[in-house]
């Protein structure tokens, strides 16, 4: 019983300590809804902006080329959006 519990705790700690990697994506904005905090790129990537994310630049609109930098969570998607730049 103790061995199983110890193994479970070590496994959980290892998964929780997995590194967060910085990543970025560039593309053309297909749709942007400032009120809902949604950015959809032409490749159908969807980014939802939360209170902890970078703010979308003023004037961001469909058709703009953007680079979105974010913390990658691997297979679990993305975490915090660090920056959104127009024209890259």
Burial class (CB in 10 A: 0-12, 13-18, 19+), 81: buried
Which domains are present in the chain?
A: 20-86 (2.40.50.320)
pLDDT digits (tens, 9 = 90+) for 45-67: 999 999 889 999 999 999 999 99
pLDDT at 82 over 90: yes
More confident residue, 6 or 55: 55
pTM of the model: 0.72
């Amino acid at each position: 019983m103790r061995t199983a519990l110890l193994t479970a705790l070590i496994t959980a700690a290892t998964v929780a300590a997995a590194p967060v990697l910085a990543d970025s994506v560039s593309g053309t904005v297909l749709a942007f809804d400032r009120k809902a905090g949604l950015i959809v790129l032409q490749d159908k990537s969807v980014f939802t902006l939360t209170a902890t994310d970078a703010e979308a630049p003023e004037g961001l609109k469909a058709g703009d080329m953007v680079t979105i930098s974010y913390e990658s969570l691997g297979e679990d998607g993305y975490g915090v959006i660090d920056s959104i730049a127009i024209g890259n």
